[in-house]
Amino acid sequence: MAKFEPLSAVTLGDCAIYVEFSKTLDLEVNSAVQRLARMVHAKALPWVRDVVPALAGLAIHFDPDHPEVFGDATSASLKAIDDCLKQGLPKEDDAGRTVEVPVCYEGEFAPDLPEVAAAAKVTPEEAVALHAGSEFRVLMIGFAPGHPYMAGVNPKLAVRRRATPRAIVAAGSVAIANDQTVVYPYAISGGWNIIGRTPLAVFDAGREQPSLFAAGDRVHFKPITRAEFQKYRK
Amino acid sequence: MTLHVLRPGLLMTVQDMGRHGHQHVGLCPGGAMDPIALALANALAGNEPGTAALEITVLGPDLQFDRDTLVALVGADFEAEMPLNRPVLIAGGSRLSISRAARGARAYLAVAGGITVPEVLGSRSTYLPGGFGGLAGRVLKRGDALPLAENSEALSRERFERLKRKRGSSVPWSVPSFTVPAREPIVLHAIEGEHFGDFDANMQRAFFETVWRVTPDSNRMGYRLGGPTLARAKTDEIISGPTCLGSVQVPADGVPIALMADHQTTGGYPRMAEIASADVPRLAQIAPGGTVHFARCGLDMAAELRKDARTRLETALRGIAWAYGN
């Protein structure tokens, strides 16, 4: 990775700033952004409301009128980032968790699997093995609460988004497009190719940790049968 | 103690100041679309500013309280069987009808002691896209029974007794609705967004010269603005980045969207502008069909606008505290 330093800092209105480290998606930059975001968050600065890591940069949402920023929250935010970078980011291995996600890749849970397999010129079983055999990294949580964008799709499975999005995608649907995988937290509209479904709740506001995923997580998908899927649901 | 919904109106939800600190897992703060009106309503009912209240949109409900209850309705100019913008003691068992908003889009009905639905992630706000918070995470409907504080009747009587200059079941004074427009189009101050420079000079000019009309498909997530379609000159793909309350995005169809309380936390659309935070509650008071106009502003101006808004609110809150003998 080239030197990890801010490329640009742009205002997100008067209550947030977005600091970008790359103009394209770079997995090393993304990993560094996640670690930096965790470090800034851990500072627990009283004027910081949220630290939001994205694909290639992070946003700091702040109280612009907090006495500790002396009327210049932009500079205070940049200084907080600079302090963290000077201190040094934690090593990648120390930072991330590994999450195992059971997925049923069968029948109505996987309406686009036959099409995806055909496009990849493999059998559906081979397509499942290719998907479940990869390690994924959560690049960003966005679009909906707990909705992860993950890198790591085997290049053989790279397919475009569907031409027409579905009006409703079932909660827990695991879907792919290009080099990424997502998991839908709620029944919402979506245009990605659905190849399976997890019985786990991706976002549960009643849990202490509502989001199953966090940016920076390593993710493994474990194929389960329909019977096992039903057991999880009980 | 219970608040009964006899007729729900157009879109009524329980809201407070929202749930903060979860944007990194994709959950926006949400909460009242017009937090200024919510704070005033609560103060008039003798509550803390962020106490959970009813957010009433465009067409109001019919409600019934079990017992005598001190309430205040603040925000849009609703036709209602109660005086607005002041504390009112509603008699137990009577039907309170709130009709349509003649001016503005939203009002807050605060109840002494608050609406005591369970907290979810530190807030009682209804988050409709996720289906949680408020009452069962949904819009209120006919027959709903909302829990109020156990001691709400005692609180109501005690607070009403403390009020100075009472007349009947209310008072002869009111607070101003700061956020409700006297006329349209309203002026929204906007800071140039990250991708403003990706639009050519004609588009940039159109953005600031157009009187935009809020379209009917606008909601708590975002307001779509009808007018000339805006095309971005640059065609390279934008990498998804964070968004903010008040961000004005321009999707591929060229119809700008101003992000409101229940917005998504990230987005891949170009951000043309960012509405000054002090002006967002004023936008929340524009109903579909209403009009807005953008005026260029910088961070200094945005800070001035926040200061003005804060001063106005604090002055009103001091006045209310005085009326309560505090």
DSSP result, chain A: ------SEEEESTTSEEEEES-SS--HHHHHHHHHHHHHHHHT--TTEEEEEE-SSEEEEEE-TT-GGGTT-HHHHHHHHHHHHHHH-PPPHHHH--EEEEEEE-SGGG-TTHHHHHHHHTS-HHHHHHHHHTS-EEEEEE-SSTT-EEEE---GGG--PPPSS-EEEE-TTEEEEETTEEEE-SSSEEE-SEEEEE-SS-SB-TTSSS-BS--TT-EEEEEEE-HHHHHHHH-
Per-residue CA distances from B73 to B87, B111, B118, B147, B230 (Å): 8, 9, 23, 18, 39
pLDDT band for A181, please (50, 70, 90 cuts).
Answer: very high
Q: Percentage of residues in chain B with pLDDT exceeding 70?
A: 100
pLDDT of residue A16: 97
Beta strands in B34-185 (DSSP E): 53-57, 62-65, 69-75, 78-80, 88-90, 95-101, 106-111, 145-147
Asked whether A191 and A161 are in contact (CB, 8 A), the reply is yes
Q: Which residues of B touch A140 (CB under 8 A)?
A: 240, 266
pLDDT, averaged across chain B = 96
Asked whether B190 and B297 are in contact (CB, 8 A), the reply is yes
* pLDDT tens digits for range B250-292: 998 899 999 999 999 998 899 999 999 999 999 999 999 999 9
| CB neighbourhood size of A43 (10 A) | 12
Q: Percentage of residues in chain A with pLDDT exceeding 70?
A: 97
Mean pLDDT of A11-32: 94
Does B311 contact A at CB distance below 8 Å? no
Q: Does domain A96-233 have CATH number 3.40.50.720?
A: no
CA–CA separation, B109 and B101 (whole Å): 14
Q: Which residues of A touch B246 (CB under 8 A)?
A: 13
CA–CA separation, B42 and B70 (whole Å): 11
**Under an 8 A CB cutoff, do B274 and A14 touch?**
yes
CA–CA separation, A141 and A216 (whole Å): 10
Q: What residue spans define the domains of chain A?
A: 8-94, 96-233
The CATH number given to A8-94 is 3.30.1360.40
Q: Hey, of B244, B308, B311, which one would you mutate to test binding to chain A, going by the most A CBs within 10 A of its CB? A: B244
* pLDDT tens digits for range B127-170: 999 999 999 999 999 999 999 999 999 999 999 999 998 999 99
* pLDDT tens digits for range A80-124: 999 999 999 988 766 568 999 999 999 999 999 999 999 999 999
DSSP states along A54-70: -SSEEEEEE-TT-GGGT
pLDDT band for B234, please (50, 70, 90 cuts).
Answer: confident
DSSP states along A178-205: TTEEEE-SSSEEE-SEEEEE-SS-SB-T
Asked whether B241 and B264 are in contact (CB, 8 A), the reply is no
Inter-chain Cβ pairs, chain A and chain B, closer than 8 A: 147
Does B191 contact A at CB distance below 8 Å? yes
Among candidates B20, B242, B303 on the partner chain, residue whose Cβ is nearest the Cβ of A14: B303
pLDDT band for A42, please (50, 70, 90 cuts).
Answer: very high
Q: Hey, of B17, B20, B24, B294, which one would you mutate to test binding to chain A, going by the most A CBs within 10 A of its CB? A: B24
Residue B123 DSSP symbol: B
- For chain A, what is the radius of gyration of the CA atoms? 19
Q: Which residues of B touch A61 (CB under 8 A)?
A: 23, 244
What domains are there in chain B, each with its CATH number?
A: 2-178 (no CATH), 186-307 (2.40.100.10)
| CB neighbourhood size of A199 (10 A) | 18
Q: Hey, of B19, B25, B128, B238, which one would you mutate to test binding to chain A, going by the most A CBs within 10 A of its CB? A: B25
Among candidates B21, B130, B277 on the partner chain, residue whose Cβ is nearest the Cβ of A203: B130
CA distance B176 to chain A (A): 24
Among candidates B22, B26, B239 on the partner chain, residue whose Cβ is nearest the Cβ of A147: B26
CA–CA separation, B275 and A89 (whole Å): 34
* pLDDT tens digits for range B86-130: 999 999 999 999 999 999 999 999 999 999 999 999 999 999 999
pLDDT of residue A95: 58
User: Can you tell me the ipTM of this complex?
Assistant: 0.94
